[in-house]
Amino acid sequence: MTDLPQFGIFVPQLGMEAGAVIAAAQGAERAGFDSFWLMDHLFAPGVPTMDALESWTLLSAIAATTSDIRLGHLVVCNPLRHPAVLAKMAATVDRISGGRLDLGLGWGSIEAELEMFGIEHGSRKERAQQLGETVEILRLMFSGEPFDYQGKHFQLSGAYGRPTPVQAAIPIHIGGAGKQLTMPLVAEYADWWNCVGGARDQLDELRPLSGSARLSVQYAVGVVTDESLRAKVIERTARRLPESGWGKALVGTPDELVEMFKAEIDHGVELCIVRLHDLADPATIKTFGRDVIAPILER
């Protein structure tokens, strides 16, 4: 565990205009968040008819309009892009941002999305294998040196990635919690393991499977700024961020949330990534930064 815990905010771009997402990232940067995260889907899981902006294009705009906050996805859907294309995109965003990209990756667990858009995909095991090969190719591309690669799923000959990223090594985050497919990838390839909220109750069991990867965890969070609104915040958090996918939400006043997150940090979590009950309300982002993050960092 680091001496200074980190906080990120996940703002999936569901039904949001680009300007609103950019403003949320700028507000999170001012509020003291360390990182800002988008989703990477061709449709909105659970609400497929809702508008959902393309993630890498949007992240480029955010990179150009922020200064310090780190940027990434929870998580990139690997089957959507060839590894060489993904490497080129990642290096470009890292250049635009001045070296602030964190590369969150997943093997693509929503088959309905892949089938809807006619994207070829193999079995779950094959997609997990493809993700491992993708990470290997990404690191070769980021070196800028010519290379050959002969994998089971990808073959490259005399390939290279130029320009290289600003960072000597873009941090790789692998998200998920599956013992058979995801955790072996985390142990072999990841700098960070991103534990989804629904698996938080399995942390003690899964943590030994993550190798040397650092630990980040997703949290559904309800911020109670007025005691008379507590019931409404609880209801809205449960409706928008159901326990079936997000695990037990952390709901409370800023003082209560400080104690809840201190307990998580003391349990070994180095990066807490929150999704707020009111999505990206500027006032709530500001409140969380001032009254939750700041007191924790001051302890």
Domains in the chain (CATH in brackets) are 6-218 (3.20.20.30)
b/e 138-164 (16+ beta carbons within 10 angstroms → b):
bbbbbeeeebebeeeeeebeebebeeb
The pLDDT score that the predictor gives to residue 1 is: 40
Instruction: Convert the pLDDT of each residue in 53-70 to its tens digit.
Output: 999 999 999 999 999 999
Cα 110 to chain center, whole Å? 16
Both structure tokens of 115: 């089938």
Q: State the average pLDDT over residues 231-258.
A: 96
Q: Is residue 103 within 8 Å of 170, Cβ to Cβ?
A: yes
Report the pLDDT averaged over residues 117-123. 92
Rounded CA separation 76/85 (Å):
13
Q: pTM for this one?
A: 0.96
pLDDT score recorded for residue 191: 98
- The region, left, alpha or beta by phi > 0 then psi within -120 to 50, assigned to residue 46 is left
Residue 73 binned pLDDT confidence (cut-offs 50, 70, 90): very high
Least confident of 106-110, 185-189, 223-227, 261-265: 106-110
Q: How confident is the model at residue 43 (pLDDT cuts 50, 70, 90)?
A: confident
- Strands 147-150 and 155-159, by their bridges, are antiparallel
Characterize 94-116 residue by residue with b for buried, 16 or more Cβ atoms within 10 angstroms of its Cβ, and e for exposed. bbbbeebbbbbbbbbbeeebbee
Q: What is the mean pLDDT of residues 224-250?
A: 95
The CB density around residue 266, as the number of other CB atoms within 10 Å, is 10
Per-residue pLDDT at 157 exceeds 90: yes
Q: Contact, 247 vs 278, CB < 8 A?
A: no
